[in-house]
Amino acid sequence: MSSSAGKRLGERAIEAFITFSGWSSILCMLAIFVFVLREALPVVPKIDFVELFTSTRWIPAPAKGNPAHYGALGLITGTLTTTLLGMALAVPAGLGAAVYVAEFASARARETLKVLIELLAAIPSIVWGFIGLMVIGPVVARVTGAPLGTNLLTGGLILGLMSVPVIASIAEDALRAVPDTYREAALALGASPWELVTRVLFPAAKKGLLAACLLGLGRAVGETMAVLLATGHANQIPTSLVDPVRTLTAAIAAELGEAPKGSDHYRALFVLGALLLLLTVAINVTADIFVRGIRTDGAKRAR
Amino acid sequence: MSAASNPFAPSLHELNKERITRRGRIITGLLALCLAVPVVLLLAVIFVEAMPVISLELIWGNATDKGRGGGLWGPLIGTFYLVITSVLIVSPLGVGAAIYLNEYAREGTATRIIGLAVTSLAGVPSIVHALFGLGAFVLFAGMGASVQAAACTIAVMNLPVVIAASREALGAVPRSFREACWNLGASRWQTIRTVVLPNAWSGILTGVILAVSRAAGEAAPILFTGAVFFKHVPDSGLARLLPYALDDTFMAMAMHLLVISTQVSNMPPERPFAAAFVLVALVLLINAAAIRMRMKLRNNRKW
């Protein structure tokens, strides 16, 4: 009797732990917000938020006697331009590869490509940055005649390569989630495989494909080490493809080590972190709502 | 027989459709190739450049002269420290969360919010994880820059990876298995322990292996939470295998690659290539193990 009571108690403890783990992701997410904001808040009254978004004067640690300036426009445009360039490359390549893998490839080619996509996704971002710095950068410099290989173009290429596997694998899932009855109906009506893809599968998987692009975008916006090494370090609004830029993420990674703990500079970097956090959470939650949208639609259709 | 008199000959319209489909297949196939070729090419470049210094000494030796000579033993063992500690933290939490979501929680607002938290957590940029780790573990929890602070930071980052993979593995176990067990009078936890988990084990392990691979490659989250460029590693004895303490700083592969490729002057170029090669090889081997395990699992499925 007592052993069974002991067992019951052990089971209770385990179930309590399981419930706690279940809520742990919420706990972590709240903790991230709390701790990033906690470090950022003391400097917030000193920041002019109009300046933050409209000026490129980022002087968080001025020489003695001079006022500090917190203008992050250069960093924001750095993030936007590298991300857009990366997306311009990754979206067609990722969606094209997804269509090929889901609809055209033989079983063997499909398996090989899927494994390659997975390996591509596994390469650490520091290695991507290193590749940008040492391999792609020099090629870009030679081809374009730019003085430096570390610039917007190299950063965009690297971000494109890094986002492709995310887009391709999620887009492929979305295409596969379209019920086979759609395919059968389209083919029975005389549609060619290409018409099937463009007129039936794309509209049916629209939300999932959009979610794939958004998640790729999220990865590109938040990418740190790759852009730290591959984009050069110039806090400016780029005027050409081969201008060096600096992104929000790279600014945090490069400057946090130098900023004394608790200084305004240090806290200003946490403000940038909070901006990034809000931006990426918004992107990911939107993507999640789209993905869920298709699931419930599918369930309704199945009925 | 002329084409006009053959009633089954394809019409011009049909021929056109076929041509478009062929073209679509070729274009998407090329896009898929766009994705496969650079990976293979870039990995080949890394390997070729690293060739001159690849030897057993590269793995076993201590770094000398700021990484300009010698081996990678210190960073490698530090990476193992980080990986093992972080996986020990994240595995029970992640698997517990998956069990909660899949076996205990009723589908509803609570699971919806937890799901959103998991997606948001997956989208948090690695540099924001670094800020969080610095604010929460290094400063607030008083761990200081150490193995444990870095491992906690990486564990939070990997939580959604383990939850997603484990949830999928648990979800793949047919409901009839559970019902059979409940009908024998088993409690919820007994059913999970004796029926559900044994059948989901390899899927869960795949998720844990993916977490290992991410922990090995990440640089940003450990930058400010405990990784350092140089730390003395003894030449012999047990201390050679266990050179770091959990509450002390450590060397890591990703950090090592970052510093030797950007911050040490007169670095012989094959050195960072060799470090990149070892890091990529490590991560890809771990991932290949995960992929193999999943394929085996798919083939061995009993239901």
- Helix ranges (H only) for B107-196 are 109-123, 126-133, 147-171, 175-183, 188-191
User: Do A242 and A194 share a structural domain?
Assistant: yes
Looking up residue A160, the CATH number of its domain turns out to be 1.10.3720.10
User: Do A158 and A224 share a structural domain?
Assistant: yes
Taking CA–CA distances from A251, the nearest residue in chain B reads: B127
Within a domain: residue B202? Answer: yes
User: Do A236 and A287 share a structural domain?
Assistant: yes
Interface with B, mutate which of A11, A30, A100, A227 (most B CBs under 10 A): A100
Within a domain: residue A87? Answer: yes
Within a domain: residue B22? Answer: no
Per residue in A177-226, pLDDT (tens digit) is 899 999 999 999 988 888 899 999 999 999 889 999 999 999 999 999 99
Taking CA–CA distances from A106, the nearest residue in chain B reads: B29
Distance from CA of B242 to the nearest CA of A (A): 25
Closest CA to B275 of B5, B129, B75: B75
**What mean pLDDT, rounded, does chain B reach?**
88
**SS3 assignment, position A70:** strand
Within a domain: residue B3? Answer: no
A144-148, A221-225, A298-302, B141-145: the lowest-pLDDT one: A298-302
A232: containing domain: 73-302
> pLDDT at position A301, please?
43
Is residue A303 very low, low, confident or very high in pLDDT (cuts 50, 70, 90)? Answer: very low
Distance from CA of B145 to the nearest CA of A (A): 12
Amino acid sitting at position B260 = I
Tell me if B35 and A20 make a contact (CB, 8 A cut-off).
no
Within a domain: residue A62? Answer: no
Quick check: A104 and B22 in contact, CB under 8 A?
A: no
Is residue A300 very low, low, confident or very high in pLDDT (cuts 50, 70, 90)? Answer: very low
Number of folded domains that form chain A: 2
* B90 near A CB under 8 A: no
> pLDDT at position B129, please?
95
> pLDDT at position A2, please?
54
User: Do A28 and A81 share a structural domain?
Assistant: no
For residue B206, CA distances in Å to A22, B163, B246 come to 20, 11, 26
Tell me if A113 and B36 make a contact (CB, 8 A cut-off).
yes
Cβ partners under 8 Å of residue B184, min gap 6? none
Within a domain: residue B58? Answer: no
Within a domain: residue B47? Answer: no
Within a domain: residue A46? Answer: no
Is residue B302 very low, low, confident or very high in pLDDT (cuts 50, 70, 90)? Answer: low
Is residue B210 very low, low, confident or very high in pLDDT (cuts 50, 70, 90)? Answer: confident
Within a domain: residue A79? Answer: yes
Within a domain: residue B253? Answer: yes
* B138 near A CB under 8 A: no
- The reported pTM is 0.89
Per residue in B236-283, pLDDT (tens digit) is 777 888 888 888 999 999 999 999 988 888 888 888 999 999 999 999
State the Cα torsion B19-B25-B27-B30 to the nearest 10°.
-140
> pLDDT at position B249, please?
92
Looking up residue B181, the CATH number of its domain turns out to be 1.10.3720.10
User: Do A268 and A206 share a structural domain?
Assistant: yes
Pairwise CA distance, residues B264 & B267, whole Å:
6
Quick check: A34 and B122 in contact, CB under 8 A?
A: no
Number of folded domains that form chain B: 1
Per residue in A133-143, pLDDT (tens digit) is 999 999 999 99
Per residue in B157-197, pLDDT (tens digit) is 999 999 999 998 999 899 999 999 999 988 889 999 999 99
